[in-house]
Structure formats: C-alpha cells, structure tokens
DNA sequence: CCAGCCCGTTAAGAAACGCTTAAGAAAGTG
DNA sequence: CACTTTCTTAAGCGTTTCTTAACGGGCTGG
C-alpha cells in the first residue's frame, strides 16, 4: 500500500463489457486501472506500483499466463488473481504454477472475489509488533518515536517514521530515492524530499544510523569498511 | 520452509476416511501431520512451526473459523487453506475474512489442491543477482562493494564497480582498453582512464587481482599457458 | 643491453552528487 | 478562523567522483 488511501489494483481484461463492469464492482475498494490487452498489462505491471492484479486468461497481444510468467521473471512479486472462464483443473494448475496466487472462474460471485482480493492484499501484522532495532535505537511500532538504548526518546513525524521504517525493513540493503519515494510518499514528489528527511532523521537520531551510498541511495546498517 | 527437506503441512480434518486419504495424497510433497479436532489444531498451530495448514470447516471441539481466528490473533501468519464441503459464497467470504488465504470446496481436484498449496508456500524471491567471485573476493551484485572471503568489505565507486564487473564477466579473457572503455564508459574518454581505475582497484583490493598483459590490456584470472 | 614504447602513479580541474538551510504550502488543531 | 506543526520545494555550498594529463619507472625487441 503506497499511502493511506485505497489499494491500487491493475485489471487486465479484454472483454469490452465485463472489463468496465468488474472495474466498477471493485471501484469502492480499490483504485482500479483497467487495461485491455496483455502488452499494456505487462507495461503497467512493470512500471507501476500495484497492490494486487486481476488478469484474464485469454488476452489479445499477450496471453494471461505469458503475462504472469513475464512479470514474475522480472521480479514482480505483486499478488495476482486469475479471473477467467477456463475452469478445468488443468487450467487452474497451469495458471497457479505460472505464478498466480489465486484462480477464480467466471461466472464468479462478487462477494467471493472481493474476499479473495482482501485475502491477497491483507498485510498480516502480528498483534504485538516487536520494536525494530536500528543500531543503538529502537523504532516504536507506531512509527512515531524512537528510543535510544539509554532511555532517551525522540518523537518523529509521520514521514520521518515511515522513511526510517522502510530503511529498517531491510538492513544492509541500499534503497534508491525512487524506491523510498514509492514506499513512503505518493511518488509524485521530488526525489530531493528524501534528502531533507534523511537530514531530519540524522539530526534527531545519531548521524551514523543512515549511510549514504553515493550515486545510489541510502542504507541502514553495515558500514562498509 | 523450515529445512532443506519437504515443507511441513498441518492437516486438520475430522473425517476418519477423508483425513488419512488427503494426508496420503499430500504425502509425496509435504511432511504431513494430521490432527482430527480444532483444539489439537490450535495447539499444533501455536507450538509447531508449519509451512502451510489445511483445515476443515466443521470440526469437533473447535470450529475451523474459530481455529483460524485464534491462530491469527496470536500472531501466527502461516498460510491457511480451508478445505470443506460448505461451498456457499457467503461461507467462503467468512472463511477468507477470518484469515484464511484460500478456500477449496469438496469434492476437490487433487491437482488443483496441490497447485494452490504450491502457490501458498511459494516463497517468491526476486531473481537474486549472484555475487561474482573474483579470486579471494566477491563482487556484490549492486556492483558497489566487494567482500573478501574474510569479512572485510570495501566500497567501490560506480566506475570502479563497472570496470571490475566487466573484467570479472569473462575471467581469463584479456580485455583491451578500448573494449573496457566501451563497456564501462561513454567511449568518449581517453583510454588512459582505464589505467587510473585499475590503479584505484588494485589499491582498494589486492594488487594481484587484475593482471596486466603488456601491449594488450587487462585480465582477471590466470595467465595463458 | 639500450632505445623506445607502455604502464603505474600522482595531482588537479571539472562535473556530478549530496547536505544544509530557509521559506512557502498544506494539513492538523484548538 | 487563527495558530501550530508538518510537508515540499528550491537554491547555495561542500564533498565525492570522474577525467585528463604529466612524469618517471618498467617491459620488450632488436
């Protein structure tokens, strides 16, 4: 989920009637983008940032299975639900093994589809999330404050907390500004925002926590050398 | 996956005939543990470490929905598939919203069940760029750092990384300066740049890594003959 | 062994990049 | 509605990285 608003959903459906219908059906709960062929689906899937995708099986320009295979091979891990008229068990096996996470056959029940999509997008948060350790600091799960190992507590703003949480999620990994932008902001801001917030964090916490990797981005953890 | 061998599967099914049958069906692909009531399912689910669970809907001692709700509230995030005779859309919605990840109705197709379980246990790992081995060193796929076999890590600049990657791509091959220029730079620079960067690399890493072939260029690896 | 080319090393200017600051816009609050 | 806090942009300045060039030592072939 890129922000506090609705999750984004990419719908790939060539049927001129069914496509808009499904889009309308999902509209209250998702920001739906409808594309009507596999090639557009691939392009959107690769370039956009989606919380979940619904793809038809038979598509012009690029088959649904081929689309999913292509996306997965490019490292796209977004949950994908296949929605199609082809209901043979063999077809289901093929679709799921290609990398889909769920398979629903037409005609489908609207409530069931919605529930399956909820199941796919559900981000499971354990009831008592352990505070995230960042060097000598501890990020509170509410993402609004950090405590040093020696009692001192610093409160963060929402963006500061999100940025720090994103970096802390994968220590040692280097995040580009664009990645961080997609994770914490609406992706419409200037990449320079990140610099500003990194500066804020470094001033509030110790300078050493967030490392700069020149030309790439930022990183938490392992100082190289 | 808890170990290198088969994934573990907890099957909660009270039917004395169907339970062992399903267990046998899944046996080739999973380490299956069968329990026949909800209370045992809860206990196993909480204490054991499972890669996936298959639970029946109607269970003695504790309903399947209640079981899932209880597990989720305790922070158990294991993928759960409901396998049941109750096939109403409403039932499916209830089961999925309780925290199940998939819902299959009896009678079920063995191949489909297996595929859906594969989809649930599939751990999607984005194509992990394998580190490139260079003598006693390992080039990080981000191409921005190298680690020696004994822990020491050295960070590289962008050009240093590109140059090292180009040389390491074909060990033992001798690259001319022009080839390296075309591979790492805009081909508009002086060939002498290469010398400078080779020097930087030799200073950061050990001198022996990059060999000079007089009159030709540079090389990683063994000398010819 | 020597002349001549090739390579290693260093330094310094140029360019790209990141840090810091400030100020206006937007959002939240009483 | 006024006030405060937070968000976002932009610009100046310092740092890192890139590229060139020059000098001195080393390699090769006759």
Set of chain A residues whose Cβ sits within 8 Å of the Cβ of B154: 224-225
Is residue A160's beta carbon less than 7 angstroms from any atom in nucleic acid strand D? yes
CATH number reported for the structural domain that contains residue A195 in this entry: 1.10.10.10
- Would you say residue B78 lies in a domain? yes
Same domain, B89 and B7: yes
Q: Which pLDDT score, from 0 to 100, does residue A5 have? A: 60
Residue B123's pLDDT is 81
**A113 and A175 together in one domain:** no
Strand D, nucleotides < 7 Å from a protein CB: these are 5-11, 16-22, 27-28
Contacts for A82-90 with beta carbons within 8 Å, 24 or more apart?
A82/A54, A82/A55, A82/A56, A82/A57, A83/A13, A83/A22, A83/A54, A83/A55, A83/A56, A83/A57, A83/A108, A83/A113, A84/A56, A84/A57, A84/A58, A85/A57, A85/A58, A86/A57, A86/A58, A89/B109, A89/B111, A89/B112, A90/B111
C-alpha to C-alpha distance for A40 and B78, rounded to whole angstroms: 34
CA distance B75 to A69: 32
Span between the terminal Cα atoms of chain B, in Å: 47
Q: Which residues of B66-92 are buried (b: 16+ CB within 10 A; e: fewer)?
A: ebbebbbeeebebbbbbbbebeeeebb
pLDDT above 70: residue A4: no
pLDDT value at A42 more than 90: yes
The answer to whether the C-beta of A178 is closer than 7 A to strand D is no
pLDDT-wise least confident of A34-48, B55-69, B130-144: B130-144
List the domain range (segments joined by +) for residue A46. 3-122
Q: pTM for the complete prediction?
A: 0.73
- In the sheet that holds A217-220, the strands lie side by side as A174-176, A217-220, A210-213
Q: Which of A195-199, B30-34, B69-73, B183-187 has the lowest mean pLDDT?
A: B183-187
Same domain, residue pair A117 and A8: yes
User: pLDDT tens digit string along B179-214?
Assistant: 999 999 988 889 999 999 999 999 999 988 999 999
Q: How confident is the model at residue A194 (pLDDT cuts 50, 70, 90)?
A: very high
Domain boundary among A122, A148, A174: A122
- pLDDT score, position B151: 84
Q: How many CA atoms lie within 13 A of B128 on its CB side?
A: 6
Confidence of residue A225 (pLDDT cuts 50, 70, 90): very low
In this structure, are residues A211 and A161 in contact, taking their beta carbons and an 8 Å threshold? no
Which pLDDT value is given to residue B78? Answer: 95
Cis preceding-peptide flag for B213 (omega within 30 of 0) = no
| Chain B residues closer than 8 Å to A222 by CB | 153
Using a 7 Å CB cutoff, list residues 199-218 of A near strand C.
199, 202, 212, 214-217
Number of structural domains, chain A? 2
Answer yes or no: do B12 and B87 share one domain: yes
Residue A67 lies in a domain: yes
Output the distance from B160 CA to C14 C1' rounded to whole Å. Answer: 19
Number of Cβ atoms within 10 Å of the Cβ of A1: 12
- Of all residues in chain A, the percent with pLDDT exceeding 90 is 63
| Residue-level pLDDT at B4 | 55
Distance from residue B157's CA to nucleotide C11's C1', rounded to whole Å: 19
Cβ-nearest to A115 among B93, B118, B126: B93
- Please calculate the CA angle B13-A87-A108 and round it to the nearest 5 degrees: 85
Hey, is the C-beta of B72 within 8 angstroms of any chain A C-beta?
yes
Tell me: do A95 and A31 sit in the same domain: yes
Task: Scan residues 158-187 of A and list those with Cβ closer than 8 Å to B.
Answer: 174
- Condensed to tens digits (0 to 9), the pLDDT of residues B29-52 reads 999 999 999 999 999 999 999 999
Rounded, the Å distance between the CA of A159 and C1' of D1 is 27
**A224 to chain B: closest CA residue:** B153
- A203 within some domain: yes
* Residue B223 confidence (pLDDT): 67
pLDDT number for residue A125:
57
**Does B138 map to a domain?**
yes
Residues 19-38 of A with CB under 8 A from B: none
pLDDT at A2: 38
Domain assignment present for residue A16? The answer is yes
Q: What is the pLDDT of residue A41?
A: 95
State the virtual CA torsion across A196, A200, A206, A212 in degrees, nearest 10: -10
- B116 and B27 in a single domain? The answer is yes
Region A187-214: mean pLDDT is 94
pLDDT at B126 over 90: no
In the listed set A88, A122, A156, which residue is the last one of a domain according to the structure?
A122
B175 CB neighbours strand D below 7 A: no
Within this chain, do residues A101 and A147 fall inside the same structural domain, yes or no? no
pLDDT, average across residues B125-133: 75
Residue B46 in contact with partner chain A when CB distance is under 8 A:
no
DSSP state string for B125-150: ----PPPEEETTEEE-TTSSEEEETT
Beta bridge partners of A154: A146
CATH number of the domain at A77, please: 3.40.50.2300
Q: Please tell me whether residues B175 and B202 are part of one structural domain.
A: yes
A106 and A159, same structural domain?
A: no
**Average per-residue pLDDT in chain A?**
89
pLDDT band at A127 (very low <50, low <70, confident <90, very high): low
Number of other CB atoms surrounding residue B62 within 10 Å: 16
Confidence check: pLDDT of A223 > 70: no
pLDDT of residue A103: 97
**Boundary-marking domain end, from A122, A145, A177:** A122
Q: Which of B72, B73, B118 sits opposite A97 (nearest CB)?
A: B118
Q: Are residues B164 and B70 in the same domain?
A: no
Indicate if the pLDDT at residue A129 is higher than 80: no
Q: Are residues B192 and B141 in the same domain?
A: yes
Q: Distance (Å) from the C-alpha of residue B107 to the closest C-alpha of chain A? A: 12
Q: In this predicted structure, which of A36-40, A123-127, B107-111, B147-151 has the lowest mean pLDDT? A: A123-127
Q: What is the mean pLDDT of residues A90-114?
A: 96
Pick A97 or A189 by higher pLDDT.
Answer: A97
Neighbouring-strand partners of residue A81: A54, A102
The pLDDT of A157-163, averaged and rounded, is 94
Query: Which of residues 94 to 153 on A have a Cβ less than 7 angstroms from any strand C atom?
Result: none
Residue A127 inside a domain? The answer is no
Asked whether residue B127 is assigned to any structural domain, the reply reads: no
How large is the average pLDDT for residues A190-203?
96
* pLDDT (0 to 100) of residue A1: 40
Q: Are residues B175 and B197 in the same domain?
A: yes
Inter-chain touch B74–A216, beta carbons under 8 Å: no
Strand-pair category, A8-12 with A80-84: unpaired
Provide the pLDDT for residue B224. Answer: 56
Highest mean pLDDT among A27-31, A149-153, B117-121: B117-121
Whether B213 maps to a domain, the answer reads yes
């Amino acid at each position: 989920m890129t922000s506090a608003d609705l999750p984004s959903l990419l719908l790939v459906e060539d049927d001129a009637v069914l496509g808009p219908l499904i889009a309308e059906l999902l509209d209250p709960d998702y920001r739906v983008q409808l594309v009507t062929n596999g090639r557009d689906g691939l392009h959107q899937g690769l370039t956009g940032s989606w919380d979940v995708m619904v793809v038809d099986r038979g598509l012009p320009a690029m088959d649904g299975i081929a689309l999913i295979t292509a996306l997965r091979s490019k490292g796209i891990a977004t949950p994908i639900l296949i929605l199609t008229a082809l209901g043979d068990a063999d077809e289901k096996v093929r679709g799921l093994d290609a990398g889909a996470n769920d398979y629903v056959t037409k005609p489908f029940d609207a409530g069931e589809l919605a529930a399956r999509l909820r199941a796919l997008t559900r981000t499971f948060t354990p009831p008592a999330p352990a505070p995230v350790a960042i060097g000598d600091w501890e990020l509170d799960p509410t993402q609004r404050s950090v405590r040093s190992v020696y009692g001192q507590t610093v409160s963060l703003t929402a963006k500061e907390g999100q940025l720090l949480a994103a970096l802390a999620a994968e220590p040692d990994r280097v995040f580009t500004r664009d990645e961080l932008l997609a994770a914490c902001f609406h992706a419409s801001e200037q990449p320079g925002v990140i610099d500003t917030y990194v500066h804020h964090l470094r001033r509030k916490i110790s300078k050493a926590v967030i490392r700069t990797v020149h030309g790439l981005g930022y990183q938490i953890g392992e100082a190289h050398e």
